[in-house]
Amino acid sequence: MILDIYKDSFEFASRKISTLLLLGVLSFFHLLLIPMIFFYGYSYRVVKVSTQSMINGEDVPPEFNDFKRMFIDGLRYIVVTFIYLIIPVILFSVGLVYGSWILLIIGIVLFIIFALFAYAAIPHMATNDDSLKSAFAFGEINNVISSIGYGRYVLNYIGVALISFVIFAVVIFILSFIFAILGIATINIFGGSGAVSTLASLIMNLVLFFLIMPYLSVFQSRCSGLIYSLGC
């Protein structure tokens, strides 16, 4: 079942290239507030469509339109994610600044727990008339996760995270290798220093944020909606 969700989500994300390109433009300018809001607004739209979908169906990504609605949905998505993760991020940051391993560990543990809840909170909100209140109905969300199966739910979340990380790592490695051969950069992607030309940096960012990030965003949102639908 989990593998079917991944398969469906990969195919779903590639069925409308024009939408991916538009999403890529927003992703490339992700440091600007407005593009970021629209980016997550579309991600929310994918989640909402996916909660009503069948795995391995013939669905296509939703239209890139109704920008007022997309903007509001993006705000909802960002607000919910921010509220869920702000406490663990603060604890982790304070622990990092003051060298407190206890706060660091607590921050990491809470981040994992809250991130798992947020993964279900977004689709739960989408299926309950876009109500922000529903995103924090912990009892209801826990019941949905319980219906899915905690093991299956956590496995799905870990799998999505690992797949996204591996894709990013492979793309960065391939580009770094090509740049090194061409002599426009020497990059150690495992933490060492390296000389990166402006051209190499531009190409790297273009590929990651214009091509890879939009695809993975649709993939992740689709997975989130589909796994949630199993508990409804």
CB 29 within 8 A of CB 213: no
> For position 156, what pLDDT does the model report?
95
pLDDT lower than 50: segments of the chain = 187-195
What pLDDT shows up at residue 56? 83
- pLDDT tens-digit profile of 76-125? 999 999 999 999 999 999 999 998 899 999 999 999 999 999 999 999 99
pLDDT for 5 equals: 95
**What pTM did the predictor assign?**
0.89
pLDDT of 191: 43
Beta bridge partners of 196: 185
Side-chain-facing half-sphere of 37: CA atoms under 13 Å: 13
pLDDT score recorded for residue 48: 95
Q: CB-based contacts of 95: which residues, under 8 Å, 6+ apart?
A: 101, 102, 103, 104, 105, 106, 107
Dist. CA 208–CA 175, nearest whole Å = 10
Question: Would you state the pLDDT for residue 85?
Answer: 96
Question: pLDDT value at position 185?
Answer: 57
